[in-house]
Chains A and B, each alone.
Chain A
């Protein structure tokens, strides 16, 4: 398995606080890799560094063989890096369909003026995008019935799914999901887990996810990376990670680790 994403010796500081310290791991092509760790371990900081919001003080992010450490966030998105947010980040004044279409816009070629006339190539592009989204995103994620509704009134679980749909519309190579099932009930969680697996198995999209729901992480991930206080303390298959003494200590405290050993 060749790596699609390689994070090498990444360091990030806010003032005197080291949010990330020499973080290294890889996400293999076509696999689901999970990043776990206690609250404040630096998981979201890591995501923000990969997607380009934070400028790491050291280290590299290598995506699909290219060093993207210096690229701005929107260019990284253009290369095939899509993500969702821990707090649902939909555009609340817009419909579900408009939100999803925004995910596809970055790939289109026409500019401000040609799109303004809504004719010729721009129109054809727009129609093509619309068809593709209908087929590959809306049908796929079973949100056909809500496509014309405003996102603001949707239940939380559906909002999360629309956000996933928007990320899929970007036709990403790497899909980064920040706590995709946080706050969901059991049924919603199972639905979401099934969609993530489908995305990986049917589309071959590489998935990198942050999640606190250990059951789901252990079920669907091929690899798990464990962060604590900004450092990688363990990485491996779910079984390896589960048995790792450092991980048990981080989650359950020192005494529990001794008891387990």
Chain B
């Protein structure tokens, strides 16, 4: 290279960022589902990830269940927890000011944190490796296998949900209930049921993300913290847009990876927020969101 610039490194950082953005988009989907379906910003999303990872560790490692049964058991358990949370906390608060509901989900996050700390202790566990680690090699570029497979998994799940909401009867009913609950009721749609289902879906999405993140790093109560970074993604994408969550997830993934590569890991956590700040100054409703989003 004439200028002495390492183009290969740039390509590698960008590609790794793009692929790790898939997982961010998946976590973002969890937020978007609940916001679209029930109008709530669920600050306990990270705790759903954490619960998923801990449940899976318990079933798979402590109880020695095979991966598939352990996974199914985990998803069912998290869905159940999400349904209970919807019933006992969110439904009584429906119709209350946004800020009250928001505080409730923040409190819920802390409570789940506390429960996990009490049951499993604050120490780090080694999660079993689920995704193949064999790296992908494109010429001089090397991309860790887990990063690519996590992207594939996220893409499949997001595509599945998109199809589900577009074509399945329940998915269409959920969209209808989300956009106009009163009319949905009149059509015989049980809006409480669709809202419960929304929370269960978000719980499942969070749990999958949590298991993958846990397997790529390690299992500790801090695992849920990853979701807070994703909150930036969601605001960037617009809270009510799945497409926005995907695109923004990928953008942030790339930006984080490039910053980590060139400026170091410490700056990495700041740059996405700065980017988001800059974008929000121009488009306060996000890249794809509808204009009348309630601002916090």
Contacts and interface: CB of A to CB of B under 8 A. Distances in A.
A112 B197 contact: yes
B172 A166 contact: no
B180 interface: yes
Nearest to A176: B186
Interface size class, chain B: 20 to 34
A126 B180 contact: no
A93 B182 CA distance: 16
B190 A116 contact: no
Interface of B: 164, 167-173, 175-176, 179-180, 182-191, 197
Contacts of A166: 187
B187 A106 contact: yes
A36 interface: no
A53 B172 contact: no
29 contacts: A51-B186, A53-B182, A73-B185, A74-B186, A74-B191, A77-B186, A77-B187, A78-B188, A85-B183, A89-B180, A91-B176, A91-B179, A93-B179, A94-B172, A98-B172, A101-B172, A102-B176, A102-B184, A102-B189, A105-B173, A105-B188, A107-B188, A111-B170, A112-B197, A115-B168, A116-B168, A116-B170, A116-B171, A122-B169
A105 B180 contact: no
B187 A105 contact: yes
A102 B185 contact: no
A118 B172 contact: no
B186 A102 contact: no
Interface string A23-62: 0000000000000000000000000000111000000000
A91 B189 contact: no
Contacts, number: 77
A104 B151 CA distance: 38
Contacts of A91: 175-176, 179-180, 183
A205 interface: no
A173 interface: no
A261 interface: no
Interface residues of A, number: 36
A117 B45 CA distance: 27
Contact of B175 (A85, A93, A107, A170): A93
A108 interface: yes
A106 B197 contact: no
A54 B186 CA distance: 12
Contacts of A116: 164, 168, 170-171
A91 B168 CA distance: 16
A103 B187 contact: yes
Nearest 3 A/B pairs, CB to CB: A106-B188, A77-B188, A73-B185
Contacts of A232: none
Contacts of A108: 169
A223 interface: no
A260 to B, nearest CB: 40
Which of B168, B186, B189, B197 has the largest number of chain A CB atoms within 10 A? B186
B182 A89 contact: yes
Contacts of A85: 183, 186
A91 B182 CA distance: 11
Contact of A83 (B169, B179, B180, B186): B186
Contacts of B176: 91, 94, 102
Nearest to A116: B168
